[in-house]
Amino acid sequence: MDLHIVKDQAEGGRVGFQVFKAALDDGAKVLGLATGSSPITIYNELAGSQLDFSQLTSVNLDEYVGLKADHPQSYHYFMQQNLFNAKPFAHSYVPDGSNLDEAAATSQYDQIIADNPIDLQLLGLGQNGHIGFNEPGTDPESTTHKVTLTESTIAANARFFENEDDVPRYAYSMGIGSILKAKQILIVAYGEAKASAVAAMIEGPVTPDVPASYLQTHPRVTVILDAAAASQL
């Protein structure tokens, strides 16, 4: 893993931007995107840049089940606000959380990923070591699937909702297997609350208990951390 320890999230945005720029310079056509607070500074840098995404495709990691695309807490909406309004792509895909037919929603998304192999996948890291919404225990070969969110993830994401009861209990997520097929991966994590997950991801055994530990098996991973997130390494 190529590890960068940065001063703060703003610097992480600039370092992450350079990873995206280099991938585009190398001919990347499909970008795998992520939500959460950690990628926001990278999106700010991308949104304010000269980079042109109008011929590219984006494929997002996950979406809450039961939220329509225009719900302010949906990941569709997040992407629109944080990147797509400023930088439209030729095609942007996010799992369809409004489709309650699990088999149809997940198989359609697997087809989208198969048709659009991901050149660079951006990831955040859950406090429990999840990537996308692949919670501990997820099969490392998993493809897109419906996830029951853990209590810790519901609690961690409650800050975005009026109260914890409003947080959806299910999500559609790309699987660990889908994520590992990306040619290159960039994962970003900031703050003390991520420190133990970061240490387990980088130095711990490769185990289903820590989905991010499977990144150790991928040949091309860049990690951006601040000092607090790196403090248990």
Number of residues in contact with ligand GLP, rule: CB under 6 A? 14
The single residue of 45, 96, 119, 135 carrying the catalytic annotation is 135
Q: Which is nearer to ligand GLP, 116 or 157 (CB)?
A: 157
Catalytic-residue membership of 128: yes
Q: Which is nearer to ligand GLP, 54 or 200 (CB)?
A: 200
Q: Which residue is listed with tokens 């970008």?
A: 31
The answer to whether 59 touches 93, Cβ cutoff 8 Å, is yes
Q: How far is the CB of 32 from ligand GLP (least distance, A)?
A: 11
Catalytic-residue membership of 62: yes
| 229 vs 195: CA distance, rounded Å | 4
Q: How far is the CB of 132 from ligand GLP (least distance, A)?
A: 5
| 103 vs 108: CA distance, rounded Å | 8
Task: State the amino acid at position 135 in one-letter form.
Answer: E
Site for ligand GLP contains 198 (CB under 6 A): no
Catalytic-residue membership of 130: yes
The 42-61 site mask, x for binding ligand GLP (CB under 6 A), equals: -------------------x
Q: Which is nearer to ligand GLP, 34 or 221 (CB)?
A: 34
- The single residue among 38, 128, 142, 213 that binds ligand GLP, judged by CB under 6 A, is 38
| 187 vs 189: CA distance, rounded Å | 7
Contacts of ligand GLP in 129-188 (CB under 6 A): 132-133, 153, 157
Catalytic-residue membership of 115: no
Site for ligand GLP contains 16 (CB under 6 A): no
Site for ligand GLP contains 37 (CB under 6 A): yes
Among 49, 12, 53, 10, smallest CA distance to 33 is for: 53
| 5 vs 166: CA distance, rounded Å | 35
40-47 and 9-25 helices cross at what angle (nearest 10)?
A: 60
Q: How far is the CB of 104 from ligand GLP (least distance, A)?
A: 22
Per-residue burial over 178-211, b if 16 or more Cβ lie within 10 Å, else e, is bbbbbbbbbbbbbbeebbbbbbbbbebeeebebb
Q: Which residues are catalytic?
A: 62, 128, 130, 135
Q: Which residues bind ligand GLP (CB under 6 A)?
A: 34-38, 61-62, 124-126, 132-133, 153, 157
